[in-house]
Structure 1
Amino acid sequence: MFGIGGGELFFILLIVLMLFGSDKIPDIARALGKGMAQLKNATNEIKSEIQKGSQDAGLDMNSLTGGVSEEIAKAKEGISKMVNPVENINLEVQNPIEQVKEDIENISGPIKRQM
């Protein structure tokens, strides 16, 4: 949680307890909770206003973000092909190799069993 360990959190809580006293801590926590809820509601309202404005302007936010996601996926695929060229061998080459392996196993299978 924010890079704070258990011991550090305990120390902070101890200092807060010493500064404000045990009777004020619930009020402080309640006020912080209300503030966080108001902040969350404000961000949700801003998001909805942006979506309404884009829909009124004729823009579809889902199609815009979908296009970006597709481009990111294409870029990742291209990078993985560059980084791992052996893993991305064309299926036209890979399938005949697999077929030859199966043929060798079929031919050598009875020989192995006799030994």
Structure 2
Amino acid sequence: MFDIGGGELFGLGVLAVLLFGPDRLPNMAREAAAFLRKVREFTSQTTAQIKDETGSDLIRDIGEVTRQIRSPRRAIVDSLLNGGESPAAAAAAPAAKPHFDPETP
């Protein structure tokens, strides 16, 4: 995720020992772990709450639209197989003529 190598991690550990001292470092690591745990719990609760409020139908619909957008070939094939009007036929079909009143000034 952060693309940190072994040497960089070792350097960060040495820097942490120099800045905070060996006595305070374990306590700070525990506090950092507790903070990260709270952040993860908050994000998972928020995600669950959003899913509950929006409903699973909306999430399913969004997934369906996403799949359709990612697969334009499937959309074209479905349109042709389902007997939908082709774009050429739709363009060739004349639109209804508007009402024309010759008496209008």
TM-score by length of 2: 0.59
How far apart, in 2, do the equivalents of 1:41 and 1:61 lie?
24
Which structure 2 residue ranges, 5 or more long, are not aligned? 75-105
Aligned residues: 74
Q: CA RMSD, aligned part only?
A: 2.1
How far apart, in 1, do the equivalents of 2:48 and 2:3 lie?
32
Over the matched positions of the two proteins, sequence identity in percent amounts to: 30
Residue 67 (str. 1) matches residue 94 (str. 2): no
Deviation at 1:72, TM superposition (A): 4.1
Q: Deviations over 1:48-103 (max 9, x none)?
A: 21112113xxx61342233134214423x57xxxxxxxxxxxxxxxxxxxxxxxxx
Match of 2:10 in 1: 10
Give the ranges of 4+ consecutive aligned residues of structure 1 lying more than 6 Å apart after TM superposition. Answer: none
How far apart, in 1, do the equivalents of 2:8 and 2:54 lie?
45
TM-score by length of 1: 0.54
How far apart, in 1, do the equivalents of 2:39 and 2:15 lie?
26
